[in-house]
């Protein structure tokens, strides 16, 4: 073998070793040469989608969140049932997730321009950033370079925080994912837009924890409003604003709602009504929208780094719903 061939072989081995490292850092410029227009392509699709569905931003950021908490941000949540794959979508925490058709549209548009280049997991990260900003929220540099998993983990969906859990339980799930209390409070702030079904909070309205009384942390006027929207034994599917003050705007009103005992979900209100370090963080974000925005962008980056596949791990799916 010539010296050139030996050098080339060493380069390939070293490069493969680096790329195969699942801890390799993501980069905001990952597609700068391979698909330089990816952000504008995604923006074109999601802006059109938002004209038809004002809730698409809340839907896609929720899918991104639920994806990252199961085996990391690897696009596994998007896989449909198939041979050897039990879809995570069928697990209780994900049965109400939505927006996959828009992801399909984004993927089609991206594949038309840059075939086999951009992962489905990166599409979720890009779309989340664009839609938060489009609704008045912060802009941050989405970190890219993830690859998609070839498997799903339905049982692993137990790692997703539940609307029935207390502060310690959800805090532990965030710690298990490598996220801290600031991440917990900042990412919960995504509930500044979107809706939730009556079934996710009706337990707070009539018989909280088997007491026969409502959750004492709900402000009286808000309790009456919610009872009218969600009568006892009524439809659990009725949608309610997560932030009743500015329902579709991404701002810091979510945190002033918590200060006024007007958090919709149990997991929202416990951030302020349970003694602990989250109370001061809620106060800080309520007092400074710019502080919330800065922290939210950083926490989205932190979350987006959970368990990513990079280099030669995983694949770039051509169809987000099935492995290649």
Segment 179-216, tens digit of pLDDT: 999 999 999 999 999 999 999 999 999 999 999 999 99
Model pLDDT for residues 256-303, shown as the tens digit of each residue: 999 999 999 999 999 999 999 999 999 999 999 999 999 999 999 999
Q: How confident is the model at residue 15 (pLDDT cuts 50, 70, 90)?
A: very low
Q: Are 322 and 82 in contact (CB under 8 A)?
A: yes
pTM of the model: 0.91
What are φ and ψ of residue 49, in 5° steps?
-65, -35
Question: How many helical (H) and strand (E) elements, i.e. helices and strands, does the chain have?
Answer: 12, 2
The whole-number pLDDT of residue 25 equals 84
64 is catalytic: no
For the beta carbon of residue 102, count every other beta carbon within 10 angstroms: 23
pLDDT tens-digit series, residues 44-97: 999 999 999 999 999 999 999 999 999 999 999 999 999 999 999 999 999 999
pLDDT at residue 24 in the model = 53
Instruction: Please tell me whether 246 is known to bind a ligand.
Output: yes
Average pLDDT score over the chain: 93
Token pair for residue 267? Answer: 């997991």
161 labelled ligand-binding: yes
Q: Domains, the chain, ranges and CATH? A: 37-160 (1.10.520.10), 167-302 (1.10.420.10)
Is 93 annotated as ligand-binding?
no
Q: How far apart are CA 57 and CA 292, in angstroms?
A: 18
Q: Does the pLDDT value for residue 104 go beyond 70?
A: yes
Catalytic residue chosen out of the listed positions 64, 66, 203, 253: 66
């Amino acid at each position: 073998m010539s010296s050139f061939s030996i050098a080339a072989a060493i380069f390939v081995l070293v490069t493969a070793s680096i790329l195969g490292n699942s801890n390799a850092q993501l980069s905001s410029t990952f597609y700068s040469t391979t698909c330089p227009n990816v952000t504008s392509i995604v923006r074109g699709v999601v802006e059109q989608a938002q004209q038809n569905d004002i809730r698409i931003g809340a839907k896609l950021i929720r899918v991104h969140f639920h994806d990252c908490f199961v085996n990391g941000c690897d696009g596994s949540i998007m896989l449909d049932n198939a041979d050897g794959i039990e879809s995570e979508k069928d697990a209780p925490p994900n049965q109400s997730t939505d927006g996959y058709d828009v992801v399909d549209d984004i993927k089609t548009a991206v594949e038309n321009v840059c075939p086999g280049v951009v992962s489905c997991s990166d599409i979720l990260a890009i779309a989340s950033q664009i839609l938060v900003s489009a609704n008045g929220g912060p802009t941050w540099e989405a970190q890219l370079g993830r690859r998609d998993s070839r498997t799903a983990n339905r049982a692993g969906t137990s790692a997703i925080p539940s609307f029935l859990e207390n502060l310690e339980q959800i805090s532990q799930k965030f710690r298990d994912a490598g996220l801290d209390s600031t991440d917990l409070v900042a990412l919960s702030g995504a509930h500044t837009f979107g809706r939730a079904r009556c079934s996710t909070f009706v337990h707070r309205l009539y018989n909280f924890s088997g007491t026969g009384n409502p959750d004492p942390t709900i402000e009286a006027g808000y309790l009456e409003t919610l009872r009218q929207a969600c009568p006892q034994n009524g439809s659990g599917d009725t949608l309610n604003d997560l932030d009743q003050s500015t329902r579709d705007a991404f701002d810091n009103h979510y945190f002033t709602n918590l200060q006024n005992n007007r958090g919709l979900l149990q997991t929202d209100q416990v951030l302020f009504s349970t003694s602990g370090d989250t109370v001061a963080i809620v106060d800080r974000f309520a007092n400074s929208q710019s502080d919330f925005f800065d922290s939210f962008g950083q926490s989205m980056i932190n979350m987006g780094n959970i368990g990513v596949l990079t280099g030669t791990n995983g694949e770039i799916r051509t169809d987000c719903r099935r492995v290649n």
